């Protein structure tokens, strides 16, 4: 009986431990109300959490992120836009633009992003694309360039007036990652209140951002775009930054989207850290007599990693067959190969490897020597 009792006790302990570990695992992942969702690292593009993220879906006004990107990249932000009858008469959320009035394109983009003005979206499209059809062509061309394979645009605002207008949570995260690399877009998306002149009134227009994460709910929020139509339901794209880590969240058909995004951000900030797995600068790990001391990487390679994932990172170097005359004749190609970064044997990034020619190597050697002399003079070398 003692042996049987001991076995039962061990069994209970094992079951308790198992369920404890299972519960902790479940708690670790965010629980979201949205039908489709994704959390992406804004620097590396690594997906940190996803829920049916690649399914084509209606996206409502988060469409306007693409409209804003094209406006920012047009180089026309300082131009005045004459508001057409078509733009002024657009249904849904509005800036109440009047036919014939002239508004600076930059102000229209602020109104687009902060107040989700559909009239603003049409005015932007007509000015930047020449026509709605011309602008839609630019939207789909840009989507293809970014790699949005499950997306197709038919209008600049996201209204349910076309059946063939859709994207996915993953594609919208990709678009936002691209957009956040544009300084002006990042500034506009992160603005809480914008004031624009109204020549026909004694009062300026004043627009408060509809993104409550940015204005009141989440202190790490850096921007985003809200959306809603009867068919798409609530859609939301948002960005957040904490301790140097930049994250992107997207939810489609999310009845509790504010909390969904906060949960995903908190999960990402708690469980992942941006880690430099290959620093920019001279590469010292290649021993070949031609390449040794001459290869450089021009940017840090960052990965979002959990604490126990660094061991799963592997770097592979693919290089051209070196020629000794490169050293004597100084005629080596600028780029001689790539460093390919793998996480759990899946390629997650790659960077070109540059060959330092003789003059550049001398300049770097002089700069290094000068820095050492300067540090020695200050006592840094001896005393840290």
Residues, the chain:
384
Q: What pTM value is reported for the model? A: 0.79
The model's confidence at residue 183, banded by pLDDT at 50, 70 and 90, is very high
CA distance 194 to 208: 7
Q: Locate tokens 């010292």: which residue?
A: 284
Domains 36-271 and 275-383 equal at CATH topology level: no
211-233, pLDDT tens digit by residue? 999 999 999 999 999 999 999 99
Most confident of 253-262, 278-287, 293-302, 362-371: 253-262
Please report the pLDDT score of residue 244 as a whole number. 85
**Cβ 37 vs Cβ 53: under 8 Å:** yes
What average pLDDT does the segment 106-111 reach? 98
Q: Locate tokens 């879906």: which residue?
A: 57
Q: Which of 159, 158, 153, 99 is nearest to 123 (CA)?
A: 99
CA distance 189 to 113: 6
The Cβ of residue 348 has, within 10 Å, a number of other Cβ atoms equal to: 17
Please report the pLDDT score of residue 29 as a whole number. 78
Q: Which of 131, 87, 134 is nearest to 108 (CA)?
A: 87
Please report the pLDDT score of residue 40 as a whole number. 96
Indicate the domain borders of the chain.
Answer: 36-271, 275-383
> Does 32 have pLDDT greater than 80?
yes
Instruction: Kindly state the tokens that stand for 328.
Output: 């004597």
**Cβ 228 vs Cβ 60: under 8 Å:** yes
> If you ran DSSP here, which 8-state letter would residue 327 be given?
H
CA distance 266 to 13: 32
Decide yes or no: CATH 3.40.710.10 for domain 36-271: yes
| C-alpha distances in Å from residue 60, one per residue of 42, 161, 168 | 22, 10, 12
Decide yes or no: CATH 3.20.20.80 for domain 275-383: no
Provide the annotated active-site residues.
61, 64, 116
For residue 290, which phi and psi values (nearest 5 degrees)?
-80, -40
Cα-based angle 224, 268, 218 (whole degrees, multiple of 5): 45
Q: Which of 161, 195, 178 is nearest to 40 (CA)?
A: 178
57-85, pLDDT tens digit by residue? 999 999 999 999 999 999 999 999 999 99
> Does 165 have pLDDT greater than 90?
yes
Please report the pLDDT score of residue 353 as a whole number. 94
Please report the pLDDT score of residue 4 as a whole number. 56
> Does 27 have pLDDT greater than 50?
no
């Amino acid at each position: 009986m003692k042996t049987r009792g001991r076995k039962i006790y061990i069994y209970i302990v094992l079951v308790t431990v198992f369920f404890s570990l299972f519960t902790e695992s479940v708690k670790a992942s965010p629980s979201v109300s949205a039908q489709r969702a994704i959390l992406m690292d804004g620097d590396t593009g690594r997906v940190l959490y996803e829920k049916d993220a690649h399914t084509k879906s209606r996206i409502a006004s988060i469409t306007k992120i693409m409209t804003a990107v094209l406006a920012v990249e047009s180089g026309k932000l300082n131009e005045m836009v004459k508001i057409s009858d078509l733009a002024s008469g657009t249904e849904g959320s509005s800036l109440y633009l009047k036919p014939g009035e002239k508004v600076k394109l930059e102000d229209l983009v602020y109104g687009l992003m902060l107040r989700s003005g559909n009239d603003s979206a049409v005015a932007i499209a007509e000015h930047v694309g020449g026509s709605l059809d011309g602008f839609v062509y630019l939207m789909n061309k840009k989507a293809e360039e970014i790699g949005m394979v499950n997306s197709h645009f038919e209008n600049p605002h996201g209204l349910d007036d076309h059946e063939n207008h859709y994207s996915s949570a993953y594609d919208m995260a990709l678009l936002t990652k691209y957009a956040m690399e544009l300084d002006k877009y990042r500034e506009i998306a992160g603005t809480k209140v914008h004031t624009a002149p109204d020549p026909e009134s004694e009062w300026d227009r004043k627009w408060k951002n509809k993104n409550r994460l940015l204005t009141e709910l989440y202190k790490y929020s850096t921007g985003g775009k809200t959306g809603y139509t009867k068919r798409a339901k609530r859609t939301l794209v948002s960005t957040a930054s904490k301790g140097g880590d930049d994250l992107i969240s997207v939810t489609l058909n999310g009845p509790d989207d504010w909390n969904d995004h906060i949960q995903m951000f908190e999960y990402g900030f708690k469980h992942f850290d941006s880690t430099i797995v290959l620093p920019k600068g001279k590469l010292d790990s290649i021993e070949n007599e031609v390449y040794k001391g001459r290869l450089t990487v021009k940017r840090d390679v960052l990965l979002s990693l959990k604490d126990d994932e660094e061991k799963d990172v592997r770097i592979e170097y693919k290089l051209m067959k070196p020629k000794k005359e490169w050293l004597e004749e100084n005629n080596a190609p600028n780029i001689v190969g790539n460093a390919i970064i793998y996480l759990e044997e899946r390629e997650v990034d790659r960077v070109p490897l540059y060959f330092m020619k003789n003059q550049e190597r001398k300049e770097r050697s002089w700069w290094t020597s000068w820095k050492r002399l300067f540090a020695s003079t200050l006592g840094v070398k001896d005393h840290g």
